[in-house]
Structure 1
């Protein structure tokens, strides 16, 4: 019986050991496949800084009404962008967002009839986008958090009041402000998170226009919108601008830790079975 008992404990220990090893092996293999971030070269950084300076020059000239000066600066931006390698600076989505912003700006400034308001808007979008490239830790677009938060709060208030006109206005404001920082978001953040915010904003806009009773659906969307907004602006972190790591697997770690605990308990039980041949001595009260 003692031999069978010991054999049983040894089997349990081996089984738990193999399970723990397999779990930690999977975790290590998963981690080894993660790509190491590429650090941009000094030349790349310098080119991005010059691009940002040119975009700031364009923005200042447009604000002062110097359209020709802004157009000239925009042409310089177009020439600078194609000479920059963005590896290690932003993602493919970020590169495309920057290129699209430059293209949109050229359409506005090369139009037959220039629209000053639209010109200032595109200049601001381009200025924020280039700043996001050159200031990864604290870009200027982070200042829009309160603006976007107020827009979502306005949506919630209008939905609670069941005021469809106010709901449509709040939805338009959200779309307008989100559009200004949209290229910067794609440059600085995970594209999947940006798409979530886009989908929610589109859903709310469609509800405010198409649906006869949009209020309940909009209220249901407010919570997720605020959550995604906080994630994009890193408001859920203790330190504001630490990069968010979305690759952790809590279930895997829970199983691994649980296996280690069971392994320790199994080993302790096996040692207990070896002590005094697995027998426990019981003393009577009068023998103590």
Structure 2
């Protein structure tokens, strides 16, 4: 047997180099993203969705022309088409539930004995926006409601500042109706958690306006948050200024922590190794030496 003395610095440098290589490997390893795991819609899905969207457009045109009976007949076709379509890769379970509930509610409306043209038009518009959201995820038609919603909020804010209750009630009702029309489309297109935030604030404003006490201060206080929530849902760039920065796609923090742990453990191992046997490392001599 023979002995080779190892310097503490050399041993530490070698192990730390190994740690750096491991850290580099960790930083280059990419975890599968949600987008990669989400199945892409098949061609037959997209074709059926286009047919569904066209059917909804036909219903909308019939109702807007005053043909409620024709709209009711097309609504029945819509309700028959929806179960025949697969929605994976298209929308979430919440979005699908919103679509089916919209159809169910529309059938109640159109089967009512005292159906008014205005009610039929609202139902037809809601369905039309929802099916369009399924087929045009990048530029859905419901995005056109941003300006009307902002106008509603401005009127609510002005009425609160001037403490005019009738004007506030009118603006709040218009805002709630606009939200109701695009609500199924929001659930189809956006994160349900963000929709829950919006619903909570809409309910809060509604309760305040209906309260016998003065609602002006409470309505004014919620306005900035309500505007920002709508900006987030409508993907307005300015909304990011109000949001915390969370980088889920590139978690650099956990990489740095993991690297620090690896380097610390290896440095300690190097120190222990250099102290063992007074820095001497035993190496078996080859049999033929």
1:275 alignment partner in structure 2: none
Gaps of 5+ in 2: 1-6, 240-244, 264-289
TM-score (norm 1): 0.75
Q: Match of 1:82, SS?
A: helix
- Check whether the contact 1:40–1:89 (CA below 8 A) recurs between aligned residues: yes
Q: Match of 1:178, SS?
A: helix
RMSD: 3.5
1:217 alignment partner in structure 2: 218
Report whether the alignment pairs 1:108 with 2:105: no
Gaps of 5+ in 1: 239-245, 265-288
Q: Count how many residue pairs are aligned between Structure 1 and Structure 2.
A: 251
Structure number with greater Rg is 2
Alignment of 1:104-183 (within 5 A): 104-183=105-184
- Check whether the contact 2:186–2:195 (CA below 8 A) recurs between aligned residues: yes
- Check whether the contact 2:133–2:185 (CA below 8 A) recurs between aligned residues: yes
1:72 alignment partner in structure 2: 73
1:250–1:61: structure 2 CA closer, same or farther, 3 Å change rule? closer
Question: Taking CA–CA contacts closer than 8 Å with sequence separation of 6 or more, which of the two structures ends up with the larger relative contact order?
Answer: 2
1:247–1:105: structure 2 CA closer, same or farther, 3 Å change rule? farther
- Check whether the contact 1:132–1:187 (CA below 8 A) recurs between aligned residues: yes
Moved runs in structure 1, 4+ residues, more than 3 A?
Answer: 16-25, 31-35, 249-252, 254-261
1:282 alignment partner in structure 2: none
Q: Match of 2:177, SS?
A: helix
1:274 alignment partner in structure 2: none
Return the alpha-carbon distance in structure 1 between the equivalents of residues 160 and 221 of structure 2.
Answer: 10
Return the alpha-carbon distance in structure 1 between the equivalents of residues 147 and 214 of structure 2.
Answer: 28
Q: Match of 2:37, SS?
A: coil
Alignment of 1:178-217 (within 5 A): 178-210=179-211, 212-217=213-218
Task: Give 1:156 shift.
Answer: 1.5
Q: Which moved more, 1:16-25 or 1:249-258?
A: 16-25
